[in-house]
Amino acid sequence: RRKGMPASINVAGAALQPRQRKGIWKHAAIMCFAGACALIALSAYQSFSSIPERPYVSLLEKSAHQTAKKAVLHSAVSAAQQRKEAEKAYQVHREAKHAAQQTHATAKPATLDEVKSAAKPATHPTEAHAMKKTDVVKMLHQHAAAHIVHPVHGMKLAENGTNGTNSTEEEAAPEDAGAEDEKDGEEEEKEGESDQLVADAGGSGVLMADLFIFICGAIGLLFAAFLFWQVAAVSLDSAAATAEMKASDEELKTIYTTIQQGAQSFLWAEYQICFLFIAVFGALVFVLVSHTVEKGEAVWKFDVGALTALSFVVGGLTSILSGFIGMMVAVYSNARTTVMAKGEGEKGWTESFNTAFRAGGVMGYSLVAISMMVLYVLALIYRDYFSVWDGEERKVDYKNLFECIAGYGLGGSAIAMFGRVGGGIFTKAADVGADLSGKVIGVGDGKKLDEDSPYNPGVIADNVGDNVGDVAGMGSDLFGSFGEASCAAMLIGASCVAVEEAGWTALVFPLFISASGIVVCLLVSFVATDLYIVRKEEDIELALKIQLFLTSIFMTLVLWPVTDWALPGSMDIHGVEVTPFLCYICIAAGLWGGCAIGFLTEYFTSHSYQPVRDVARSAETGAATNIIYGLALGYQSVVAPVIIISFIIFISFKFAGMYGVALAALGMLSTLATCLAIDVYGPISDNAGGIAEMCEMPSEVRDKTDALDAAGNTTAAIGKGFAIGSAALVSLALFGAFVTRASDNMHDEEKLTHRGVNLLSPVVFAFVLFGAMVPYWFSAMTMRSVGEAANAMVKEIARQWREIEGLSEAAGLDFNERQAAKDQGKALAKPDYDRCIGIATTASLREMIAPGLLVILSPILVGTFCGVEAVAGLLTGAIVSSVQLAISMSNTGGAWDNAKKYTEKGELNGWFMFRDGTPVNEDQFRAAAEAGNSGNKCMQQKGSKYGSTDEGVDIKTWLSKVEQEDPARYQKIMNGDEGITTTDGRKCIYAGKKSASHAAVVVGDTVGDPLKDTSGPALNIVMKLMAIISVVFADFFMSINDGNGILHAGDLKPM
Cα gap 740→746, rounded to integer Å = 10
Cα gap 573→77, rounded to integer Å = 12
Cα gap 183→164, rounded to integer Å = 18
Confidence at residue 25, expressed as pLDDT on a 0 to 100 scale: 43
What is the Rg, in whole angstroms, of the alpha carbon atoms belonging to the chain? 33
Mean pLDDT of 1039-1049: 89
Cα gap 586→340, rounded to integer Å = 43
- Strand ranges in 650-709 using DSSP code E only, listed in sequence order: none
Distance of alpha carbon 823 from the chain centroid = 50
Segment among 198-207, 748-757, 880-889 with least mean pLDDT: 198-207
Q: What share of the chain is helix, strand, coil (3-state, %, to 5)?
A: 75, 5, 20
Kindly state the percentage of the chain with pLDDT values over 90: 29
Would the pLDDT of 147 be above 70? no
Mean pLDDT of 778-797: 89
Confidence at residue 1019, expressed as pLDDT on a 0 to 100 scale: 92
Three-state SS at 572? strand
292 - beta bridge partners? 299
**What is the residue-wise DSSP string for 117-162?**
HHPPPP-STTGGG---HHHHHHHHHHHHHHH-B-TTT-SBGGGGS-
**Inter-CA distances, 538 with 338, 358, 710, 798, Å:** 19, 19, 11, 39
Cα gap 879→1024, rounded to integer Å = 8
Mean pLDDT of 995-1024: 89
Would the pLDDT of 970 be above 70? yes
Judge contact between 1054 and 1043, C-beta under 8 A.
no
**Inter-CA distances, 581 with 442, 584, 591, Å:** 62, 5, 15
Cα gap 996→588, rounded to integer Å = 48
DSSP state of 236: S
pLDDT in tens, 644-698: 999 999 999 999 888 999 999 999 999 999 988 888 888 888 888 888 888 878 7
Confidence at residue 814, expressed as pLDDT on a 0 to 100 scale: 65
Would the pLDDT of 128 be above 60? no
Segment among 325-334, 633-642, 810-819 with least mean pLDDT: 810-819
Cα gap 213→219, rounded to integer Å = 10
Using alpha carbons, select from 317, 990, 320, 401 the residue that is nearest to residue 741: 401
pLDDT in tens, 97-122: 445 444 443 444 444 444 344 444 44
Confidence at residue 870, expressed as pLDDT on a 0 to 100 scale: 94
- Please write down the HEC assignment for all residues of 531-560: HCCCCCHHHHHHHHHHHHHHHHHHHHHHHH
Higher pLDDT, 49 or 1043: 1043
Kindly state the percentage of the chain with pLDDT values over 70: 77
Segment among 59-73, 573-587, 1041-1055 with least mean pLDDT: 59-73
**Mean of the per-residue pLDDT values of the chain:** 78
Judge contact between 855 and 1025, C-beta under 8 A.
yes
Could you give the angle at the alpha carbon of 373 between the alpha carbons of 16 and 51, nearest 5°?
135
Confidence at residue 834, expressed as pLDDT on a 0 to 100 scale: 85
Judge contact between 164 and 142, C-beta under 8 A.
yes
What stretch of H or E contains 981? strand 980-981
Cα gap 727→539, rounded to integer Å = 31
Judge contact between 1032 and 289, C-beta under 8 A.
yes
Neighbours of 71 (CB within 10 A): 16
Higher pLDDT, 135 or 547: 547
pLDDT in tens, 294-321: 776 778 889 999 999 999 999 999 999 9
Amino acid making up residue 750: E
Segment among 186-200, 202-216, 353-367, 569-583 with least mean pLDDT: 186-200
CA torsion angle 163 169 175 178 (round to 10): 40
Amino acid making up residue 123: T
Confidence at residue 703, expressed as pLDDT on a 0 to 100 scale: 81
pLDDT in tens, 620-641: 988 999 999 999 999 999 999 9
pLDDT in tens, 8-29: 334 333 333 333 333 444 444 4
Three-state SS at 412? helix
**Inter-CA distances, 195 with 86, 379, 524, 781, Å:** 21, 20, 46, 47
Mean pLDDT of 256-279: 88
**What is the band of 772 on the pLDDT scale with cuts at 50, 70, 90?**
very high
Judge contact between 331 and 684, C-beta under 8 A.
no
Q: Which of 136-150, 643-657, 820-834 has the highest mean pLDDT?
A: 643-657
Instruction: Mark out the alpha helices in 196-301 (DSSP H runs).
Output: 203-232, 243-290
**Inter-CA distances, 95 with 88, 90, 121, 132, 1055, Å:** 11, 9, 18, 18, 18
Amino acid making up residue 586: C
Cα gap 826→696, rounded to integer Å = 17
Confidence at residue 202, expressed as pLDDT on a 0 to 100 scale: 57
Distance of alpha carbon 417 from the chain centroid = 11
Cα gap 889→898, rounded to integer Å = 14
Would the pLDDT of 65 be above 80? no
Using alpha carbons, select from 347, 359, 340, 331 the residue that is nearest to residue 236: 340
pTM of the model: 0.78
What's the length of the chain?
Answer: 1055
Judge contact between 224 and 369, C-beta under 8 A.
yes
